[in-house]
Amino acid sequence: MSVTTTPHLNFRGDARAALEFYHSVFGGQLVVVTNAEAHAAETPDEADQVKFGQVIGANGFQVMAYDVPASVGYDQGDTAFFVSVRGETADEIAELWGRLAEGSTIIEDLGPSAFSPAYGMLADSFGVVWVLDVAVAWDAA
């Protein structure tokens, strides 16, 4: 038996645009099911919003998202979570960083850190904070 943890991002009307952007960065398969397609639209203006969406990349990247209906309370908050993307090489992370950084606010430039040969943090245009780094074995000694 195996378990996979996938970040599930909640939006208020921006889920499709966010998923399409993440698909353009990470590639893979994009799935978007609207409220209308799921026969779940609470109001006519929510028919084209996302009921279920995901991007699954061949490299292991996964993210899910949907649009929170107007009938449900929603507060995106301020850095309530980060989405962490960890790669094996600095080149791999730099390539993803270059695409993800378009239109984003850089919080910490991509570069070497005390714990990784490449680390950076940014907030994309949808308000999601991303941390990208190279995963390395940690030696507490």
Residue 56 pLDDT > 60: yes
Same domain (yes/no): 102, 54 = no
**Structural domain includes residue 101:** yes
Residue 26's domain comprises 8-67
- What average pLDDT is seen over the chain? 91
SS3 percent helix, strand, coil of the chain, rounded to 5, is: 20, 35, 50
- Kindly report the length of the chain: 141
d(CA 109, CA 87): 17
pTM score of the predicted model? 0.85
Same domain (yes/no): 89, 123 = yes
Same domain (yes/no): 63, 87 = no
Predicted confidence at residue 45, as pLDDT, reads: 95
Same domain (yes/no): 127, 88 = yes
Q: Please, which residues have CB within 8 angstroms of residue 79's CB and are 6 or more apart in sequence? A: 129
Q: What are phi and psi of 125, to 5 degrees?
A: -70, -5
Same domain (yes/no): 62, 86 = no
d(CA 126, CA 55): 16
Q: Per the structure, how many domains does the chain have?
A: 2
The average pLDDT across 119-124 equals: 95
Find the helix packing angle between 90-100 and 15-26, rounded to 10°: 150
d(CA 51, CA 33): 6
- SS3 label, residue 97: helix
Same domain (yes/no): 22, 55 = yes
Q: What's 53's domain CATH number?
A: 3.30.720
Same domain (yes/no): 56, 92 = no
Give residue 73's pLDDT band: very low, low, confident or very high (50, 70, 90). Answer: confident
Predicted confidence at residue 137, as pLDDT, reads: 77
**Structural domain includes residue 39:** yes
Q: What's 86's domain CATH number?
A: 3.30.720.110
